[in-house]
Amino acid sequence: MAVRVYVGVLVCFLALFLPACGTNGFKILSNPKPDAEGFLNKDTLQVTAVGFPSRGSALTPAQRQREAYQAAEIQSRMRAVDVLMTELQNENAELYKNVVEKIGGRFPVERYEEPYYSPELLLGGQRADAYFELFSISGYAHTNTYQEGSGRCFMLYRVVKADLVAHGKSGFGIGN
């Protein structure tokens, strides 16, 4: 019984301690599948997202598709910011803290979990755009698939910057 308690305490200690040790973030995927999320190489981060047109509006099919695409793109950009900040936090907790202090807080992605086109989602997109500018990164929709019946747009989005991994590890140029 004492051995089980000891092992349990050790496991809990390691689970809490190891993430703070760093070097867990910004890993490049080896042999990524086409729809994988993560760093494809040192210059490219790929994320996935889904978007839907606004609810309850009388839209033409073209408007529904455009709104779903925009919602998926906004969700992708917000997801990319979240992934980059999480990677920095996993890599270097102290540098992450400095970046968060300098930018005035972490982007609350969970606030925008509804993937429907809406005024609130558009505001989230503006915030994500500000982070992209602050981090000196850019991105594009690599692929997107629209399902007319459900209005669902699935998107693979890529964030690109020369040596994005090193840029992230350095706190995006604002953490030092």
d(CA 171, CA 26): 12
Element (H, E) at 127: helix 119-135
CB 134 within 8 A of CB 33: no
Give the residue, 15 or 107, on which the prediction is more confident: 107
Neighbours of 76 (CB within 10 A): 28
Averaged confidence pLDDT in the chain: 86
Count, residues in the chain: 176
Residue 2 has pLDDT above 90, yes or no: no
pLDDT tens column, 16-45: 344 444 457 899 999 999 999 999 999 999
**Residue 114 has what pLDDT?**
80
CB 38 within 8 A of CB 153: no
**Residue 108 has what pLDDT?**
78
CB 49 within 8 A of CB 76: yes
Give the residue, 1 or 17, on which the prediction is more confident: 1
d(CA 96, CA 171): 7
Contacts of 66 (CB under 8 A, 6+ apart): none
Residue 22 has φ and ψ, to the nearest 5°, of: 85, -175
**Residue 19 has what pLDDT?**
42
Element (H, E) at 77: helix 61-91
pLDDT tens column, 39-90: 999 999 999 999 999 998 789 999 999 999 999 999 999 999 999 999 999 9
Q: Which long-range contacts (CB under 8 A, 24 or more apart) does 59-63 make?
A: 61/148
**Residue 82 has what pLDDT?**
93
